Amino acid sequence: MEKIVVKCINELKGEVNISSAKNAVLPIIAATILCPQNITIENTPMLEDVRVICRLLGELNCDVNISQFDDKLEINTKNIVPIDADIELIRKMRASFLIMGPMLARFGYCKLSMPGGCNIGSRPIDLHLKGFKLLGADVTSDHGFVEVKAKKLTGNRIYLDFPSVGATENIMMASVFANGTTIIENAAEEPEIWDLANFLNSMGANIKGAGFGKITIEGVDKLKGVSYTPIYDRIEAGTFMVAAAITNSKIKINGFNEEHLRPLIEKLKECGVKFGNYENNSVIVDGKVEKRPLDIKTLPYPGFPTDMQPQMMSLLSVVNGVSVITETVFENRFMHVAELQRMGANIKIDGRTAVVEGTLKLTGCEVKATDLRAGAAMILSGLIAEGETIIGDIYHIDRGYVNIEEKFSKLGAEIYRVKM
């Protein structure tokens, strides 16, 4: 069993290169099902989730070539077969469910087991299925499986009760070949939604309004192969922004989109952190300042991202004063609180609200990554905790961060992986 060891440091220095966004790459990989031609995805983050969805495409008889040397992913789905996908692969990663929309669009049929993923809260697929039904598909769900089928999909107006990212992506992909016009209202607005639409449009789809809450898709007959580079990972960039803040350091982040990170930037500025030298997708983050407590409420984009809540809690646990964090997106996203408390953090939970009273210091100990972003929070806390922090269940971290030990090591951190 592997674990990550983090030791207390004085300061981070240098610069870090941000990878492409996991949450952008995964739906883009799923969307390759729509096109039976060669597709190249440049600067692919070689993460466990990426490997899982690639293995899933392999199960469907697709040609998938992953180059470890230049982070290039080449996919050809010409010979894909519409068979029932491997149960364990679907359960292993929730994003695997995103193949249902493109499979339905291309073959008029798909059957999958119910999806899995992190245990951070309920993420029902009812909105995905609602969209498929409104496009004309027959949907049945029984004994842990979901089956959708349709002779021909027809465009329709679809209102999402909640701006679900996965449902927006799945319905958008399912609509690419539908007859007529599909309109998705109250659609998710995350940058990854825009990126998926941009990828589909580069292949010949006709999608407008992605990223603005109302998406219009005009059905087309076919798509063509392309080479595409996804957007930078805003959550990885945000994690290193918080790393500069929590370690009282000044670092440069390369692979930075200010617009995508606006909610986090504003909160960090409110905390006292300084930002400067915005140029060429880079920024200097200066955490050598006195920090102030915050009130944070997570919301769907463009609100404060739930994926940055654990990392911000690590920071606020050592900021003098009382901070309040309200989690509105996932009901189980405070599982990392118990791990921070082991390190000496003073945090009290009341329902979906956490009251964080800053403490003078944290102490290294053995903790675990209860989910992907909680794992990042443990690393951040370990950077400033006295002594040594040993993090278990790091497979969660590997799902979302590329070479995280190497990137922190280049900034001067003492962090490494061991087998125990």
Is 125 annotated in a binding site? The answer is: yes
Nearest by Cα to 385 from 101, 6, 1, 3: 6
307 known member of a binding site: yes
Query: What are residue 154's DSSP bridge partners?
Result: 179
The candidate with the shortest Cα–Cα distance to 368, out of 396, 387, 346, 388, is 396
Residue 148: partners with Cβ closer than 8 Å, 6 or more residues away = 100, 104, 109, 110, 111, 129, 132, 137, 138, 139
> Is 126 labeled as ligand-binding?
yes
| Strand-strand pairing, 274-279 and 72-76 | unpaired
Which CATH number applies to 22-228: 3.50.30.60, 3.30.1130.10, 3.40.50.150, 3.65.10.10? Answer: 3.65.10.10
Task: Map out the domains of the chain as residue ranges.
Answer: 2-18+232-419, 22-228
Asked, colleague to colleague, whether 2-18+232-419 and 22-228 share their fold, the answer is yes
| 127 is annotated as contributing to ligand binding | yes
Q: Is 300 annotated as a binding residue?
A: no
N- to C-terminal Cα separation, the chain? 5
Q: Model-level pTM?
A: 0.93
Tokens of 235: 């959550």
Q: Is 61 annotated as a binding residue?
A: no
Q: Is 124 annotated as a binding residue?
A: yes
Rounded CA-CA distance 188/190 in Å is 6
Please indicate if the annotation marks 86 as binding a ligand: no
User: Which residues are designated catalytic?
Assistant: 118
**Domain 2-18+232-419 is found in CATH 3.40.640.10:** no
Question: Any idea of the CA torsion for 190, 191, 197, 200, to the nearest 10 degrees?
Answer: -130
User: Token pair 């029932």 is at which residue?
Assistant: 84
Nearest to 196 by CA among 313, 334, 331, 21: 21
Chain CA centroid to CA 32, Å? 19
pLDDT per residue as tens, the chain (420 positions): 899 999 999 999 999 999 999 999 999 999 999 999 999 999 999 998 898 899 889 988 999 998 877 899 999 999 999 776 655 666 666 667 899 999 999 999 998 877 654 454 445 788 999 999 999 999 998 877 889 999 999 999 999 999 999 999 999 999 999 999 999 999 999 999 999 999 999 999 999 999 999 999 999 999 999 999 999 999 999 999 999 999 999 999 999 999 999 999 999 999 999 999 888 899 999 999 999 999 999 999 999 999 999 999 999 999 999 999 999 988 778 999 999 999 999 999 999 999 999 999 999 999 999 999 999 999 999 999 999 999 999 999 998 999 999 999 999 999 999 998
Q: Interhelix angle for 100-107 vs 22-31, to 10°?
A: 20
